[in-house]
Amino acid sequence: MEARIVAFEDIHAVAVRLAAQKLTRSQYLEADREARSLSQSVHARQAEVRVQIQRIGFIEEAAKLIGDDRFGFHLAMETNTRELGIIHYILSASSTALEAVKNLVRYNRLVNTTTSLAIEETKRTVIIEATFRRGLEGHEKHIAEWGTTTFVAALRNLTDTQIVPLSLTFVHRRTSDMKEFGKFFGCSVRFGTNRQSIVFSTNDLLVSIHSADKYLL
């Protein structure tokens, strides 16, 4: 039997599609033009890096055009997790929030060539660390906030539980408008750190996901 390669929609392409829905036609064209210009100005050998810079740059430009410095965060709060494609099914088919976290880390590479995820698990805590691919520094602000917020919102929706992280850190800097992040996540949120990570209590992630389906998974 001949092997088939199945391509899943890139998670940042999903974010671009959702962001585009918030723009007028003229705003979309301007954001697209600026994003293309940004990707061409960056000296990156890999074509994939340039593509991702264009996608991330589109989100950045959309934020500027709309005038929302928390655009990625706000976009995430309106994102229906079903729009995440295969990632939605991976999360919703898991038996617990903890298994969902592990499956996200395991299968992330199917939809994300820009950010690698690593997990560190102890009896008390589960730490997920995200590392952006080299060449994307300085462009990750809105996409990082969108991805993290969407993930936490998805866990809460799938478990019908207000899962609250122990702490959350971002690499990019933010000096204002931080209260809304603390209110949503319910924990300490720090910006301008040396790594992007989110820490959960292991016990908090043992809650069941009602849509669990081992056959679908």
Confidence (pLDDT) at 48: 72
Confidence (pLDDT) at 5: 52
The tokens describing 157, both together, are 């929706």
- What are the extents of the domains in the chain? 11-206
Which amino acid, one-letter code, is at 160?
D
Class of the CATH domain delimited by 11-206: alpha beta
- Angle formed at CA 173 by CA 168 and CA 178, multiple of 5 degrees: 60
In this prediction, the residues of the chain whose per-residue pLDDT falls under 50 are: 1
Confidence (pLDDT) at 100: 97
Confidence (pLDDT) at 135: 66
| Number of residues that make up the chain | 217
d(CA 206, CA 10): 29
The tokens describing 182, both together, are 């603390």
Residue given tokens 């069941």 in the structure block? 208
Confidence (pLDDT) at 102: 96
Tell me the pTM.
0.90
